[in-house]
Amino acid sequence: MKHENERNEVVDYLRRMLVARLTTGSGGNISIRISGTDHFCMSPTGIGYDAMRPKDVVVMDGEGRVVAGKRAPSSEWRMHAAVYAARSDVGAIVHTHSAFAATFACLREEIPPVHYLIGFAGRNVPVAPYATYGSEELALAAAETLGRDHNAVLLATHGLLAVGHDVGMAFTVAEEIEFVAQIYWQTRAIGTPVLLSDEEMQRIIEKFRTYGQQIPTREEISPAAPTSMIAGSDSPGDEESER
Ligand SMILES: [Zn+2]
């Protein structure tokens, strides 16, 4: 089976997403770029995470053609393709319907720097304008709002999209931003959150960047660079050409 490692990881992280309560049922989806190409492994639609096997994971090219696998890709594959096209530094994407992030997505309010861990995403987590799930319009809105400076974006009245240089980092971004969203919700429920200044966020992002000089293993991941870790981290060696 081609790209067995990536397909295994897609299934593994979908299950982790359920365990971490970042989604319910078969909501959300995950993709992993085939290093050095515009191809990516995409979670399939219409199959529960418990029953899913690596062979069910679909391999797609940048135009959205299925190049390996028998299943249909997640209906939200366009969003993944658009982000890979816009960001060569992105190696994996985790899309969740996690409750606290989705709460702010439904309010269509960005998450501000209420806790320093927002640095995983950037200075804030912006909201992409609403568009129907699975649409090209949503794909473009998500990629544009993510821009080059963010590693996470809220999708209006929908959920969260998180990116990283690998799937471990994209998953960590999704988890940490869900935590920050919960903290933001709680602080607003009982008081007025005190936000970090632009200057302090600059310092934090710089510190994250320094950690990022060495790419941590998944087990070592603690506050790490949202941008620079990702930039230039393409790992050579596991490329395998399709067709
Ligand atoms: Zn979704």
Residue numbers in the chain where pLDDT is lower than 50: 214-243
Domain ranges, ordered by start, for the chain: 4-220
Q: How far is the CA of 173 from the centre of ligand 1 (A)?
A: 17
Q: How far is the CA of 181 from the centre of ligand 1 (A)?
A: 17
Structure tokens at 199: 């200057």
- Phi, psi (deg, nearest 5) at residue 225: -65, 130
pLDDT of residue 59: 97
Order across the sheet with 58-60: list the strands.
Answer: 66-68, 58-60, 40-42, 29-33, 92-96, 159-164, 152-155, 127-128
Q: Within its chain, how far is the Cα of 37 from the centroid?
A: 18
Q: How far is the CA of 184 from the centre of ligand 1 (A)?
A: 22
Angle between helix 167-190 and helix 99-107 axes, rounded to 10 deg: 60
CATH of span 4-220: 3.40.225.10
Burial annotation 181-215 (CB, 10 A radius, 16+ → b, else e): bbbbbeeeeeeebebbeeeebeebbeebbebbeeb
Q: How far is the CA of 208 from the centre of ligand 1 (A)?
A: 28
* Residues with catalytic roles: 76
pLDDT of residue 217: 41
Q: Write out pLDDT tens, residues 96-148.
A: 999 999 999 999 999 999 999 999 999 999 999 999 999 999 999 999 999 99
Q: How far is the CA of 160 from the centre of ligand 1 (A)?
A: 8
Q: How far is the CA of 191 from the centre of ligand 1 (A)?
A: 31
Pair 192, 112: CB distance under 8 Å: no
pLDDT of residue 209: 78
Q: How far is the CA of 130 from the centre of ligand 1 (A)?
A: 12
Q: How far is the CA of 214 from the centre of ligand 1 (A)?
A: 32
